[in-house]
Copies of this chain bind each other. A is one copy, B any other.
């Protein structure tokens, strides 16, 4: 869950709600929001994520907001006067998942927009989360900080998905179709005198097959290529015939 300590602008609370919902986080706790609660500006900027705001719980102090939690991660620029464990968002997300799996309540704590978390706030946290960014320009707004922590949280909760090809239902062409197309292309190129001289032909053919093979073609795409070969061949026929 996300805990906002003394947030100032309603707009930002609404945008935090959006970023939370983007990342599958739905529990929000608010500690003494400056402009009261509920807040019209928050509702306005939350748009699709109003439900997160409607379910938000209000607290008067951070101690109350964290009383039932076993583990609190605080986002902050590096703590100046406290010896605190500092982790990055990825590690925090993995640790939070592990804690939750053990039945422990976990909170991600964010401070007020201007001042950030006080040392008194930080003393309540188990660790500080520091987002690795350009050291010369590392300030994020509230919703962006929530988004990056939430993004790592979302990633940590699912199986890794390797890169893949979206084919929109069109299946990858079978090896037979690929072989058929390549054979047909080679025949056309033989006819055109392109695969010449003969001693280089095997290598040229292999290179072409590697090239088309790499394209991960779908059935309709192979059909298109057949059409292209036909069309180009027809130009040649016409030229030759003229």
Cβ–Cβ contact B83 & A134, under 8 A: no
Cβ–Cβ contact B86 & A137, under 8 A: no
With a cutoff of 8 Å between Cβ atoms, the chain B residues found around residue A88 in the complex are: 161, 163
Tell me how many residues of A have a C-beta within 8 Å of chain B. 50
Cβ contacts A20-45/B at 8 Å (1 or 0 each) = 01111000000000000000000000
- Among B81, B83, B155, the residue within 8 A (CB) of A221 is B83
A212 to chain B, nearest CB (A): 14
Closest-by-CB residue of B relative to A26 is B134
Query: Given A151-B133, A154-B134, A221-B83, is A163 in contact with B23 using a C-beta cutoff of 8 Å?
Result: no
Cβ–Cβ contact A158 & B132, under 8 A: yes
Cβ contacts A98-142/B at 8 Å (1 or 0 each) = 000000000000000000000000000001100111100111100
Query: Given A134-B154, A144-B147, is A168 in contact with B85 using a C-beta cutoff of 8 Å?
Result: no
With a cutoff of 8 Å between Cβ atoms, the chain B residues found around residue A166 in the complex are: 78-79, 82-86, 128
Cβ–Cβ contact B86 & A168, under 8 A: no
Residue from A91, A143, A168 having most chain B Cβ neighbours under 10 A: A168
Cβ–Cβ contact A127 & B163, under 8 A: yes
Cβ–Cβ contact A134 & B168, under 8 A: no
Cβ–Cβ contact B19 & A168, under 8 A: no
Cβ–Cβ contact B132 & A168, under 8 A: no
Residue from A127, A137, A154, A167 having most chain B Cβ neighbours under 10 A: A137
Cβ–Cβ contact B87 & A137, under 8 A: no
CB-based closest 4 A-B pairs: A87-B163, A24-B134, A21-B137, A22-B133
